[in-house]
Amino acid sequence: MGYSDLDRPAQFLKGVGPKRADLLARLGLLTARDVLYHVPRRYEDASTVQKIGTLEPGTEATVVGRIVSKGVLPTRKGLRIFQAVVRDSSGLIECSWPGQPFLDRVLRKGDLLLLSGPVRFFHGRQLQPREYEILAREGEDISTEGGAVFPIYPATEGLSQRQVRKLIADNLDDLLPPAAEEEVLDPAMRAEARVPPLQDALRDLHRPHTLVEAEAGRRRLALEELFFLQLLHAIVHHQQTTQRPGIVFGRTDALVRPFYQSLPFALTEAQRRVLGEIGNDMGSPRRMNRLLQGDVGAGKTVVALFAMLRAVENGYQAALMAPTEILAEQHLRTLRKLVGELPVEVQLLTGRMSAAERRAALARIEDGTAQLLVGTHALIQERVRFHRLGLAVVDEQHRFGVRQRLALADMGETPDVLVMSATPIPRSLALTLYGDLDLSLLDERPPGRQPVRTALRYEKARSTVLDFIREQVAEGRQAYVVYPLVDESETLSLKSATEEYQRLSEEVFPELRLGIIHGQMPPDQKDQVMRGFAAGEIDILVSTTVIEVGIDVANASVMVIEHAERFGLSQLHQLRGRVGRGSAQSFCILLVSSPEAADRLRIFSSTEDGFRIAEADLQLRGQGDLFGERQSGLPAFRFADLEKDAGLLNVARVAARSLVDRDPHLSTYPELRQALERRYGERARLFQTG
């Protein structure tokens, strides 16, 4: 077979006729290459297989043996049990599958089975397999080439996992050599990541001698996945930062210096470091395209204001875009306060402004009177014409799409772009999701903030918790009570939250003022409730889902989270961030239903470090679940695992950035470019025009 032979239809493989080909198509396997990359979903390691003769009742066991007899046994209660006696060199055991008489048609005498499940004592030793795999039929041998690891493949109806295994085993030796010609990772990168070449990796995946070998194979394919995505990011990064020249902001210090001197506090180490990174970007002809990650309260706004003032003192405008009206207004207040007496014109632009206000604002933006702009999506509408936009800051990046971020970046000339996020995520995830941005981390809190006291309580303690809310409200504080989003439609949680709201306001706290907010309310109504809460007109806010990100009600001191186990740790962290913003001691109380749930949440109650919590969340839930699919944009990796592969990711990132620096259009690497296009289609073609 030659190179392009991997593109041949799967039907040309040994043992595949038209009918087989249809079945393979059901698994999504159309070409020889598809079959080659159809890798096992897991392995059975027969080195852990036990001898049947040694099995003890009361233990879990994995065995390999042949069926010597079988049959269906009716019981008095009408339950039908499939039974088979299985033998290996050390002895016999009876295996029993209650309620599965159909297995009599699936399993045959002489089948070599891999079985695992509990061993019981029932008229003798009996295995109750939880899982079984047919390794071979009567007369067939399995070739393990001295190894003891059985690959278990995804299969489909009509094409068993055993048939898939045989098909691949029979064709593998023909498929590997042409695969070697498709190696696109250079030896230096592979050496650094310590992964084998492609051909070896594929062999290791399909025919491993040990689980360690199989893992080495996976890592090679994972590295390729990560590298390709990082290449794509590097190309976008190059386009955004280098292709179009950016603005060189000088150091006039006309505003930055007096601002620095006016601050009532010293900057944290992290703030200094990040300001250095931003300063380098702004002072260079490369455009800044940077993500600033930091927990709520880490001091991002102050950092952003330094950058904005630097733009303004160079004669440019700077804009800060927030995802909601309330947040925009909050930013406006903060900026006005921080700017103080400095000669800087601050201007708001949101959809709530009257037509006259809006007209005036647009005029001030266009003639350059307005220097610092704060607003919502209203800032990126077509009628907005900036006099001279030099810096675009986007708050809460994940609430906007990439398109909106780029829209602001395209306003005016080529403004520098600073994206802020208060959702700490593990570095590996940040590099994957936002790999086209440079990363800055504010991982230190300003001193002097009181930690939020976090407690885990079982649901039976609810009335004590409610009494506690009453006490806090009596002291003039406010509280949140949050219910989880149970399903996409939100109906279930909506019901529980509205019912609970009724009960709380009529029976439990008739003397207090309660409000409710949920995702199905129209935006103005939500806004109105949030404003009422912020103004202190509501004592207790019942909510179904996440309360507006970043909302700042300093007087709120209690956060009660019902069914806390249904939230991810990072979500809990966001919720907890709503309290502890004033001078009073704040509390976060998690109501849970079981000791297991409490265990899972212990790490959360022991730290307020958002990055540590995010790492723990990644470990607990895995990358797929970490963010709801819809908002994440996380690519579906087949091989890479962001939790395990952080090291590979770094290698991939550095290699991709340096390659694109040398050759932005990959013109000297046609095969790499081809492979990238094969993988990413349209997205990869983006850069050809650039």
Q: Based on CB atoms, which residue is closest to Mg ion, 246 or 550?
A: 246
Residues at the contact surface with ligand ADP, assessed by CB under 6 A: 265, 267-268, 271, 294, 296-302, 334, 422, 446
Q: Is residue 69 within a helix (H) or strand (E), and if so which, with residue range?
A: strand 60-74
Residues 680 and 204: their CA atoms lie apart, in Å, by: 26
Residues 456 and 473: their CA atoms lie apart, in Å, by: 21
Q: Based on CB atoms, which residue is closest to Mg ion, 242 or 498?
A: 242
The H helix count followed by the E strand count for the chain is 23, 21
Indicate which of ligand ADP, Mg ion, none lies near residue 299 (CB less than 5 to 8 Å, by partner kind). ligand ADP
Q: How far is CA 371 from its chain centroid?
A: 37
Bridge partners of 149, per DSSP, are 45
Q: Based on CB atoms, which residue is closest to ligand ADP, 313 or 395?
A: 395
Residues 231 and 418: their CA atoms lie apart, in Å, by: 22
CB of 449 to ligand ADP, least distance (A): 8
Query: What CA dihedral angle connects 569, 571, 575 and 580, to 10 degrees?
Result: 50
Residues 550 and 298: their CA atoms lie apart, in Å, by: 12
User: Which one of residues 151, 178, 246, 515 is an interface residue with Mg ion (CB under 5 A)?
Assistant: 246
Indicate which of Mg ion, ligand ADP, none lies near residue 585 (CB less than 5 to 8 Å, by partner kind). none
Indicate which of ligand ADP, Mg ion, none lies near residue 296 (CB less than 5 to 8 Å, by partner kind). ligand ADP
Residues 484 and 496: their CA atoms lie apart, in Å, by: 9
Residues 536 and 312: their CA atoms lie apart, in Å, by: 36
Q: Based on CB atoms, which residue is closest to ligand ADP, 271 or 623?
A: 271
Please tell me what DSSP assigns to residue 242. I
Please tell me what DSSP assigns to residue 3. G
Indicate which of Mg ion, ligand ADP, none lies near residue 246 (CB less than 5 to 8 Å, by partner kind). Mg ion
Q: Based on CB atoms, which residue is closest to ligand ADP, 178 or 375?
A: 375
Stretch of 14-22, 217-225, 239-247, 604-612 contacting Mg ion, by CB under 5 A: 239-247
Indicate which of ligand ADP, Mg ion, none lies near residue 151 (CB less than 5 to 8 Å, by partner kind). none
Q: Based on CB atoms, which residue is closest to ligand ADP, 306 or 509?
A: 306
CB of 372 to ligand ADP, least distance (A): 15
Both tokens assigned to 324: 């909601």
Indicate which of ligand ADP, Mg ion, none lies near residue 294 (CB less than 5 to 8 Å, by partner kind). ligand ADP
Maximum C-alpha span of the chain: 93
Residues 56 and 345: their CA atoms lie apart, in Å, by: 81
Query: Among candidates 301, 477, 257, which has minimal Cα distance to 395?
Result: 301
Q: Based on CB atoms, which residue is closest to Mg ion, 247 or 558?
A: 247
CB of 680 to ligand ADP, least distance (A): 34
CB of 476 to ligand ADP, least distance (A): 21
CB of 100 to ligand ADP, least distance (A): 57
Q: Based on CB atoms, which residue is closest to Mg ion, 246 or 435?
A: 246
CB of 277 to ligand ADP, least distance (A): 16
CB of 227 to ligand ADP, least distance (A): 33
User: What Rg, from alpha-carbon coordinates, does the chain have?
Assistant: 31
Stretch of 110-118, 203-211, 230-238, 244-252 contacting Mg ion, by CB under 5 A: 244-252
Query: What CA dihedral angle connects 637, 641, 642 and 643, to 10 degrees?
Result: 160
Indicate which of ligand ADP, Mg ion, none lies near residue 300 (CB less than 5 to 8 Å, by partner kind). ligand ADP
The residue sitting closest to Mg ion, measured at its beta carbon, is 246
Does position 484 interact with Mg ion (CB under 5 A)? The reply is: no
Q: Based on CB atoms, which residue is closest to ligand ADP, 290 or 300?
A: 300
Helix (H, G, I), strand (E, B) or coil at 235: helix
CB of 340 to ligand ADP, least distance (A): 12
For the chain, what's the residue count? 690
Q: On the CB side of 565, how many CA atoms lie within 13 Å of its CA? A: 13
Residues 234 and 431: their CA atoms lie apart, in Å, by: 11
Indicate which of Mg ion, ligand ADP, none lies near residue 421 (CB less than 5 to 8 Å, by partner kind). none
- Let me know: does 321 contact 377? Beta carbons within 8 Å: yes
Binding residues vs Mg ion (CB under 5 A):
246
